[in-house]
Amino acid sequence: MRPANKRAPILPATAYFNRELSWLAFNRRVLAQAQSERYPLLERVNFLAIVGSNLDEFFEIRVAGLLQQTDSGLLEVSIDGLGPSEQLRRIHAVVASLVDEQYQCWHRHLKPALARENILFPAPTDLSGEQRAWLRSYFRDQVYPVLTPLALDPSHPFPHIGNKTLNVIVALERPAPADETPLIAILPVPRILPRLVTLPRAHDAPRQFLFLSDLIKLCAGDLFPGYQLRAAHTFRVTRNSDLYIDEEEAENLLKKIEEELRNLRRGAAVRLEIELGSDEMLSRTLCEQLHVAPANVFRLPGPLDLVRLSSLAELDRPDLKFPTFTPVNVSPLRNPADIFATLRSQDVLLHHPYDVFTPVVDFVEQAARDPQVFAIKQTLYRTSGDSPIVQALIEASRNGKQVTALIELKARFDEANNIQWARQLSEAGVHVVYGLIGHKTHCKLCLVVRREGRRMRAYAHLGTGNYNPRTARLYTDLSLFTSRTTLTRDIGRLFNALTGFGHSPRFSHLLVAPYALHRRIGALIAREIAHAKAGQPARIVAKMNALVDQATIDRLYAASRAGVQIDLIVRGICCLVPGVPGLSENIRVHSIVGRFLEHARIFYFENAGGEPTVLAGSADWMPRNFFRRVEVLFPIDDPIARHWIVEDILWAELRDTENTHLLHPNGAYLPPRRPRGARGFSVHTFGMQNALRRAGAIG
């Protein structure tokens, strides 16, 4: 185990893309889905909302970190040689352009297209008298009682504005004297109320919506009798939301994280969004009180917080959504009662969301109820609010089994949920532990120990995704079920290291971070280099969410120079520059963004035309995954499962022309060229059709 690799650069800074700008390029690819007319309309609206949500997180974490560096004077140069100030300058230029495109997409394309489908967002000035009367009644009955106006004057200091909350700032005038300075107040928009107000309509009339913030602005004067409303504008603040915890000093990690979660409400403001054309005095007041620099102020044409549009997905308009796809349940594990008998004779691989997530839940539930099961050990990074996995672990403990849950309290934005699960599990008698100090436990593992005759036998589930049935319908992930002792013994060693004192555990088959994953990946790349230099077949296909680690990038450059053919399928951040003569001419970078979120990490090393090495797991190729997280890559030893991954997943993704963008040496992501008349190929459509074919063959 060692810290993230800090070493003198071997290559010039131009050999790498900037991490932050690469992430923004990814979010632009998400925006391209909202702009694409080949998607159903409400799906495009949802992609637009995702862009807003992604930008929120980017400012909360990445921009906040850069601002902290500039404030503290501890300046860290990025992989491409940029200091934090220059990164911030470039980030804001790119974000300004991106946000402009985002709002153009809404106002020029999506909003008019929704209107053509009788889904309207009328301006308050376009409302009829009858509609205005209804809205005032709605405001009086539903909104007014939960609004709390906050005056700003010497006896009312500027209030704390919550992170990502929507607010209305108003300027008020007394009836006389007319030249007196306007009074200012803030109206926090209640989070508990629906963000879109649905206007009443006849059965066949168009649906009409008004943003709650617009309704509050329309009726704000009612809150201040005796004053005249001069101006009302919506604004929104994004704050630093990272958790800073010195685990060596924190005697009780659970308590410390709860304290930090409360402290987030007092995090420094890193972005102010306010309506375009807002009163200059009000804007200046917000900037001064929030201590936001002008570069971090975004004046937007509205509506602020486009994430609110995601609620349109609830509309009963199947004609404006993706055709329904129901995951198939055709694996050998479809009968829960036979799970352990099946796994004694074979490995089982599932590919979500095409395969149903049910067997994963069944595996834990059967273990909880089976009287022959003595122990269950489980990692939990993120799970659903009504998690059947957690409930099964509670049931298992109450049934007298030895249950251990390794919960990652610092799973970003899921900290509060995970604290809740930790308390519930502890109260049920589950042994709850929090992993290695200084390392997030990100691997996805479940180990079940069962008595069979005179021996104890172990069964395991290893995954690339979280134990979350909801996201399993949206994310592409792999689940491997096995009873191979080569894997279950390693998993047992890892759990012992995480719950006990495992300083340097050794693993025979698993590749585990922070212990040896970085070195083992480097060795596999070196093996392909040796094969290429010997004139033997050499190829690497690596699928991940992000590629940032400089040492690994340099090894890939060395492999390219040696003649290794390399295809990287990197959904998000990629700091490697492909296609550069003499450096990376044998490397191609694909990014797939479409109906499903590509989430599985899969790695293929050709091994000179012999039996290829195929690995899957939880780790991206980033310093944090190699050195600051507990990660697991597991080998796919079963020939049938390995063939499926190679042919129906990796090769299919490399054929994709519908959801793929190719990274070019100048940093541009462009769709692949398609010969005139050639049919497009979508790996997501292929996955759904392939699943249905398998279901038909078995049915």
Cα Rg for the chain, rounded, in angstroms?
A: 27
Distances (CA, A) of 526 to 522, 559, 626: 6, 7, 18
Q: How many CB atoms lie within 10 A of CB 628?
A: 18
3-state helix, strand, coil in the chain (%, to 5): 40, 20, 35
Structure tokens, 453: 């005759």
CB 282 within 8 Å of CB 231: yes
Distances (CA, A) of 375 to 15, 288, 368, 453: 50, 58, 9, 16
Q: How many CB atoms lie within 10 A of CB 337?
A: 10
**Three-state DSSP string of 300-335:** ECCCCCHHHHHHHHHCCCHHHCCCCCCCECCCCCCC
Listed in sequence order, the DSSP H helices in 402-479 are 415-427
DSSP conformation class of 176? S
Specify the residue for token string 């102020």: 297
DSSP 277-292: T--HHHHHHHHHHHT-
User: How far is it, in rounded angstroms, from Cα 386 to Cα 85?
Assistant: 43
Q: Is 103 exposed, middle or buried (0-12, 13-18, 19+ CB in 10 A)?
A: middle
Structure tokens, 590: 């694909």
Q: Is the peptide bond before 514 cis (omega within 30 degrees of 0)?
A: yes
Assess whether 442 carries a catalytic annotation. yes
Q: Which amino acid is at 301?
A: P
CA dihedral of residues 94, 96, 102, 103 (deg, nearest 10): -170
Residue 173, H or E segment: strand 166-173
User: How far is it, in rounded angstroms, from Cα 21 to Cα 247?
Assistant: 31
**Tally of residues, the chain:** 699
Do the strands 475-482 and 597-598 form a parallel or antiparallel pair, or are they unpaired?
A: parallel
Closest C-alpha to 363, from 455, 479, 470, 477: 479
Structure tokens, 71: 């404030």
Distances (CA, A) of 118 to 36, 48, 59, 321, 697: 20, 20, 35, 15, 42
Closest C-alpha to 589, from 619, 611, 567, 563: 567
CB 397 within 8 Å of CB 375: no
CB 233 within 8 Å of CB 279: yes
Distance in Å from the first CA to the final CA of the chain? 50
Q: Which amino acid is at 119?
A: I
Specify the residue for token string 């010969």: 675
User: How far is it, in rounded angstroms, from Cα 609 to Cα 589?
Assistant: 23
Closest C-alpha to 433, from 253, 646, 642, 208: 253
CB 162 within 8 Å of CB 188: yes
CA dihedral of residues 644, 650, 655, 658 (deg, nearest 10): 100
User: Can you tell me whether residue 234 is helix, strand or coil?
Assistant: strand
Task: Determine which one of 442, 461, 590, 684 is catalytic.
Answer: 442
Give the residue numbers marked as catalytic: 442
